[in-house]
């Protein structure tokens, strides 16, 4: 029901669609506002938060499509019944995007609390029964976990306790044939390219992080390997502490998590 004076109620409501141009940073809510307002897609400093000062300076509720898609289900079932889906801390159904070394990559809907193993089985398992080397949870800004975490329940609380994250719902499986060095370099290149460049820690840090990984991968560090790894961690720390938005704050997350796991990455 859209338009002016809906059903003679005096209430007006309408929908306007704006098509984005694909910039990753415009998934950040305030960069999205800037983009819709016709400016460069750069995140704003917070506070003020969107509920106080959002789109065109007005209080704004901003949700992603997956959240809004749950509303009909909540209305249909009632809040209490809906809350019984999933776990106490993570209610409802959840979409996960399976990719990498699985037989049937795609988007799968399960209840919160399904395990990593459940999801990988839903996607047909690893081709040729090869062993799993690592799983990237949450996408490029996520965390690598090892095959010892296959029984990890996919909930906010369980992943947080395991030092991981659900992030965007991405589950990328890497089997024993995967070259994780190239994957880490690709992730670093991605953040270097997608940084909006507004703040120094992310703009410079994401470049330095990528350069450093390239040096290590090429076996040509400019100082000892150990010193290079310390520098890499310091760059990550600076980006986490001083970047304006989540892109810079998480740009080192997957890389650091992979390097924390003994023997996972041959750098
Ligand atoms: S952290 Fe990166 S993406 Fe975010 S505002 Fe700073 S430069 Fe832009």
- How confident is the model over 62-112, as pLDDT tens digits? 999 999 999 999 999 999 999 999 999 999 999 999 999 999 999 999 999
**pLDDT for residue 178 is more than 90:** yes
CA of 28 to the centre of ligand 1 (A): 10
| Sequence-separated contacts (24+) of 101-110 with Cβ below 8 Å | 101/126, 101/127, 101/130, 101/132, 101/173, 101/174, 101/175, 101/177, 101/178, 102/126, 102/127, 102/173, 103/127, 110/154
CA of 206 to the centre of ligand 1 (A): 10
Over residues 181-207, the mean pLDDT reads: 97
User: What residues contact 166, with CB distance under 8 A and at least 6 apart?
Assistant: 94, 137, 138, 154, 155, 156, 159
Percent of the chain at pLDDT exceeding 90:
95
pLDDT tier for residue 232 given thresholds of 50, 70 and 90: very high
If you take atom 6 of ligand 1, which residue's CA is the nearest one? 199
If you take atom 1 of ligand 1, which residue's CA is the nearest one? 248
If you take atom 8 of ligand 1, which residue's CA is the nearest one? 196
- For residue 198, give the ligand 1 atom closest to its CA: 7
In the prediction, which pLDDT does 10 show? 97
**pLDDT for residue 215 is more than 90:** yes
- The finding on whether 203 has its CB within 6 A of some atom of ligand 1 is yes
The three-state (H, E, C) secondary structure of the chain, written as one string: CCECCHHHCCCCECCCCCCCCCCHHHHCHHHHHHHHCCCCCCCCCCCCCCCCCCHHHCCCCCCCHHHHHCHHHHHHHCHHHHHCCECCCCECEEEEEEEECCCCCEEEEEECCCEHHHHHHHCCCCHHHCCEEEEEECCCCCEEECHHHCCCECCHHHHHHCCCCCCCCEEEEEECCCCHHHHHHHHHHHHHHHCCCCCHHHHHHHHHHHHHHHHHHHCCCCCCHHHHHHHHHHHHHHHHHHCCCHHHHHCCHHHHHHHHCCCCCCC
- For residue 25, give the ligand 1 atom closest to its CA: 3
Over residues 156-171, the mean pLDDT reads: 95
- The finding on whether 197 has its CB within 6 A of some atom of ligand 1 is yes
In the prediction, which pLDDT does 267 show? 82
- For residue 194, give the ligand 1 atom closest to its CA: 3
CA of 250 to the centre of ligand 1 (A): 10
- For residue 196, give the ligand 1 atom closest to its CA: 8
């Amino acid at each position: 029901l859209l338009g002016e004076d809906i059903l003679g109620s005096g209430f007006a409501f309408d929908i306007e669609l704006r098509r984005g141009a694909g910039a990753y940073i415009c998934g950040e809510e305030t960069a999205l506002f800037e983009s819709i307002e016709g400016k460069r897609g750069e995140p704003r400093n917070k506070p003020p938060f969107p509920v106080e000062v959002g789109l065109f300076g007005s209080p704004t509720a901003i949700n992603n499509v997956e959240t809004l898609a749950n509303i009909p289900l909540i209305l249909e079932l009632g809040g209490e019944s809906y809350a019984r889906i999933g776990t106490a801390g993570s209610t409802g159904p959840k979409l996960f995007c399976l990719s990498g070394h699985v037989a049937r990559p795609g988007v799968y809907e399960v209840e919160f609390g399904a395990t990593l193993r459940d999801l990988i089985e839903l996607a047909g398992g690893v081709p040729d029964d090869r062993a799993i080397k690592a799983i990237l949870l949450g996408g490029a800004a996520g965390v690598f976990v090892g095959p010892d975490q296959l029984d990890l329940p996919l909930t906010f609380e369980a992943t947080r306790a395991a030092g991981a994250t659900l992030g965007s719902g991405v589950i990328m499986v890497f089997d024993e044939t995967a070259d994780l060095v190239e994957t880490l370099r690709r992730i670093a290149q991605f953040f270097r390219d997608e940084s909006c460049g507004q703040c120094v820690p992310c703009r410079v840090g994401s470049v330095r992080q990528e350069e450093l990984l390239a040096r290590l991968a090429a076996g040509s560090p400019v100082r000892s390997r150990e010193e290079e790894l310390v520098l890499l961690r310091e760059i990550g720390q600076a980006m986490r502490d001083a970047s304006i938005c989540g892109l810079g704050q998480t740009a080192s997350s997957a890389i650091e998590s992979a390097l924390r796991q003994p023997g996972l990455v041959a750098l």
